[in-house]
A and B are shown apart, each in its own frame.
Chain A
Amino acid sequence: MRGASSKMAIWVLGLYGLYLAAPVYWLLRLALQSNQAILSGERDFTLANFAEIFSNPVWYQGFANSLTYVAINTVISVSVALPAAYAFSRYRFLGDRHLFFWLLSNRMAPPAVFLLPFFQLYSAVGLFDTPLAVALAHCLFTVPLSVWILEGFMSAVPRSLDEMARIDGHSLPYFFFRIFLPTIRGGIGVTVFFCFMFSWVELLLARTLTGSEAKPIVVVMTRTVSASGIDWGVLAAAGVLTILPGLAVVWFVRRHLVKGFALGRVS
């Protein structure tokens, strides 16, 4: 089946690649032009847009704030999901199936539904306008997803590994941290990737739970309208910069990507 259809495969990939690349190419091009040149249709080349972002604290603070809550969220999600996923993959216990599906159903809740109560809840406990508030709010979808992915990866590890460690006289914590976690490190990488993916890209909750102090980059971007209109060049430059962390993360887990997208369930 390869020979005859490989020509068509190259066409499909080529055309689709073009479709993916064209808007990104345009973003990059506008990012390297001054706003006057963009509006008048001339061509020039400037790094001024990037210089503006790196010299203006509103912009680089926004980046720092976003990376902070994404990091906190990832740490919380992975560390609470690890023991839970282990429990789901290794033991039967009262109500385990129901609990598992109920956890997943949280993934189906539209973030817009949570706007009102989140605002009031986080204000009440004094977390409003901190990165921690956004990190906890994003746990709404990253924690169920982490449990689901890790459970898949853990269930693919044969139980004989657990038993061998017990026979060798290792305690459960020793086994879990020194033997089991290194075995599923690919799965942990993929989980980090998904937590990052859903926390870094989110706008609605991040915007609702922050004011001026912890304002994330995505919110700064939606408010770039100044008195003279939108500065398209700076907006494009900020867009280019927000793609970079994602690129770094995906490069880091590229070997586990295929297995990760099947949530560990395909060997």
Chain B
Amino acid sequence: MNRPQNNRAWLGVLPVLLIVAFSAVIPLMTVVNYSVQDIFDVNTRLFVGFDWYRETLRDPRFLDALLRQLGFSALVLAIELPLGILVARAIPREGRWVGLILVLLAIPLLIPWNVVGTIWQLFARPDIGLFGQLVNGLGIEFNYTAEPLHAWVTLIMMDVWHWTSLVALLAFSGLTAIPAACYQAAVMDGAGSWQVFRHVELPRLTAVLVIAVLLRLMDSFMIYTEPFVLTGGGPGNSTTFLSQYLTSMAVGQFDLGPAAAFSVLYFLAVLLLCWLFYTSVIASDGERG
């Protein structure tokens, strides 16, 4: 579709730019500014160049948190993506149940993130939680506040509970856009359910799945509230992810310079991951023709 050239359209974009300047550009510039200075108080500052960056990249706690973060994001994506597609394929395309199923699916997405943490805390605690009691009843001593492995299992289950719906709803909206004729042709060729999925549905879902992976990738990489409520980053540091470490640095210790350098590296890491994923998808699309 050809859109006419009209530079007055900038006027329409102006309010958005003002808001974003206030809520993103100025704060981001402040962070970059802090990251190259050693700040003692408002009037005593020292330019230190990239010292804070070097220090952050050598900080073993930063590197550990980064590794945990990568592992967490990879795990939740590996579970949520196939599970979401499976659920989306199971939803009937029409009928009176569709609306109800979609509304029920969307509920976890609308619960405040700290409440998600609280819900799973209440559900998984070995003393008062249904899940904790059940697992203990099976003879496994389950305690997510003491065992790192149990904490991870609980966190992953919580994230899957919280976010698989997003993947499912995205995939479902993609599925409903596939014309019935494509299915009829496949059925006439005698294709089974897997083949229908592989050759009819998956190629047409690429666009929505790219959105799903991007959203889950960046959001899981920023996760803070749910682990903060559920495990507080523990036991030990075993569930301390990047946002939590950064928050403890910035608010807890008020180390402006190092926290700012950390922030810049963190933002760049998210951008880099999304860019890598996006370009690799576009590249493989190009090869297929």
Question: Which positions in A face B, CB cutoff 8 Å?
Answer: 1, 4-5, 8-10, 12-13, 16-17, 19-20, 22-27, 30, 38-39, 41, 76, 79-81, 83-84, 86-94, 96, 99, 103, 105-118, 120-121, 136-137, 139-140, 143-144, 147, 155, 159, 196-197, 200-204, 208, 217-218, 221-222, 232, 235-236, 238-239, 242-243, 245-247, 249-251, 254-255, 257-263, 265-267
Contacts and interface: CB of A to CB of B under 8 A. Distances in A.
A250 B4 contact: no
Contact of A84 (B13, B129, B164, B172): B13
Interface of B is mostly: helix
Contacts of A254: 99, 102-103
B112 A110 contact: no
Contact of A246 (B30, B107, B242): B107
A90 B3 contact: yes
Contacts of A25: 130
A201 B222 CA distance: 14
Q: Which 3 A-B pairs have the closest CB atoms?
A: A246-B110, A87-B12, A117-B27
A87 B9 contact: yes
A113 to B, nearest CB: 4
B225 A263 contact: no
B28 interface: yes
A218 B113 CA distance: 9
A258 B87 contact: no
Interface string B75-92: 000000001001101111
B12 A92 contact: no
A33 to B, nearest CB: 10
Given A120-B30, A243-B107, A110 B1 contact: no
A16 B26 CA distance: 44
Contact of B211 (A80, A203, A246, A263): A263
B60 interface: no
10 contacts: A26-B119, A83-B12, A83-B13, A92-B6, A94-B7, A109-B28, A196-B110, A202-B113, A222-B114, A246-B110
Contacts of B40: none
A106 B20 contact: yes
Contact of B103 (A13, A79, A144, A250): A250
A131 B122 CA distance: 30
Interface residues of B, number: 101
Contacts of A81: 16
A88 B129 CA distance: 50
A84 B113 contact: no
A27 B107 CA distance: 14
Contact of B207 (A140, A247, A265): A265
Given A12-B86, A12-B87, A221-B115, A116 B260 contact: yes
Contacts of A263: 211
B177 interface: yes
Given A112-B243, A200-B110, A202-B113, 20 more contacts: A5-B193, A9-B91, A20-B161, A24-B107, A39-B127, A80-B18, A84-B15, A91-B9, A93-B7, A110-B242, A113-B264, A139-B19, A147-B16, A202-B225, A203-B114, A204-B224, A239-B122, A251-B103, A262-B170, A262-B177
A45 to B, nearest CB: 17
B110 A201 contact: yes
Contacts of B274: 108
Given A20-B108, A108-B267, A262-B173, A30 B128 contact: yes
B256 interface: yes
Contacts of A107: 218
Given A87-B13, A103-B20, A113 B246 contact: yes
B267 A113 contact: yes
A6 B243 CA distance: 43
Interface string B172-207: 111011000001001100000100100000000001
Given A90-B3, A110-B221, A261-B170, A221 B114 contact: yes
Interface string B16-49: 1011101110111011001000000000000000
Contacts of A202: 112-113, 225
B109 interface: yes
B251 interface: yes
Contact of A243 (B115, B129, B222, B267): B115
A121 B27 contact: yes
B19 A26 contact: no
B193 A236 contact: no
Contacts of A10: 90
A201 B113 contact: yes
Contact of B118 (A239, A250, A258): A239
A111 B31 CA distance: 13
Given A87-B12, A261-B169, A235 B31 contact: no
A262 B166 CA distance: 11
Contact of B30 (A1, A116, A245, A247): A116
A197 B105 CA distance: 14
